[in-house]
Amino acid sequence: MTNTEKKSLLKLATKEGTPIFIIDHDKLRANFREFREKLPEVRAYFAIKANSHPEIVKTMFDQGASFDVASMPEFLVVHENIKNWPDKKRQDFIWDKIIYANTIKPIETLKELNQYKPLVTFDNAEELKKIKEYAPDAGLVLRIRVPNTGSMVELSSKFGAHPGEAVDLIAQAVEYGLGVEGVSFHVGSQCSNFDNYTQALNFAAAIFKEAELRKYPIGFIDKQGKRKKVLDIGGGFPAKYNAESKSFTALAKKLNSEFKRLFKNDNVQIIAEPGRFMVATACTAVCKIVGKSVRDGKTCYYLNDGVYHTFSGQVFDHQHYPLHAFKEGETKLCATFGPTCDAFDTISLADELPEDLQLGDLLYAENIGAYSAASATYFNGFPPAKVVHVNLNRIKN
């Protein structure tokens, strides 16, 4: 971060108070554009679970994004942007722009979803029975289990049908009179092993071929009257947390090559569920030192934000967010703690910070937009950080 940007953050923190969670909407737009430019054949369904703040959803909506939701409250956050549209236009948007990508859905949710006829995912026979009874008008996408090796957060232990069972599940859905439109997978969040995608795409291609041989139709009828299959490649696209982060450009090149190799003769609509990639680098946290001590020879700073709040991603997302000082000076390894009475509220035991910082001095953490504020709590009565919306030019000026 440049000195000019640091001054702007300090000015913003002075005005708004701390802790604050700053969302840069110009960076959101830039991330969305990069995704579209490097994966031109892929429609981006923003996974709002990464950060479901309504203003982020609105910015994504204004950019033309589609949406991946995993609960009715998330669905309604998206629906808020179109609630005043005419019924037909609203229904067309939901049918074409929203996928409910949680494979397990409560009966109450299925009942409510059915009127909108969205895409929904499934990965087991019991879920099919529920969908048949309570949401028979939904379009189905079968989620398969794929390798998650090397991903920061693995998902295969909880979600996905075994690829060997996939066509049997598709056959069961067809027997129920349900429309199976495609296949989905997820290689795990913040994927560092791009071979996961290669293996998953090969699984999907094989399932499409087997279903065709067994004469089970997969797909939907597009505007040209042709049957088109949905291929949902999920998320996992690496955000640029630091210099060691895997290159999204390299992944995009690999994916584009595999799309051409495996699906060039198929009528396939490829979609993806980027969440972290869109929001991680678009947010910054600023917090204040409210206490200081020396324990076993190490300087310890107590902050007014912590792992029960903005830094919750360190627990739920396995991601560390290094803290930085606005003040310059010789740095040493220091401990940083959150404000609660729980010793679990430890941000780091090894942040590189000046040891002469004082009460009231401010610290900041970059690239903290994904799975952070989204999982903040009110533990001990401490509220989450105040959300502040800016644009890149405002930050720099």
**Under 8 Å CB-to-CB from 182, ≥6 apart: which residues?**
141, 142, 218, 219, 229, 230, 231, 232, 269
Contacts of 246-249 spanning 24+ positions with Cβ under 8 A: 246/191, 246/192, 246/194, 248/34, 248/38, 248/277, 249/38
Q: Which of 124, 255, 122 is nearest to 187 (CA)?
A: 255
344 CB neighbour count, 10 Å cutoff: 12
Rounded CA-CA distance 365/326 in Å is 11
Partners of 191 in beta bridges: 151
CA angle 259, 265, 270 (to 5 degrees): 40
Considering the candidates 191, 287, 300, 341, report the single residue annotated as catalytic. 341
* Amino acid at position 129, single letter: K
Q: How far is CA 297 from CA 294, 333, 334, 338, 369, in A?
A: 6, 11, 10, 20, 33
CB 346: neighbour CB atoms within 10 A?
A: 16
- Is residue 191 annotated as part of the catalytic site, yes or no? no
Reading the block at residue 321, the tokens are: 């967010």
CA distance 334 to 269: 50
Cite the beta strand spans of 161-249 per DSSP E.
Answer: 179-184, 189-191, 220-221, 227-232
Return the bridge partners of 217, or none.
Answer: none
Neighbour count for residue 171 (Cβ, 10 Å): 15
Catalytically annotated residues:
341
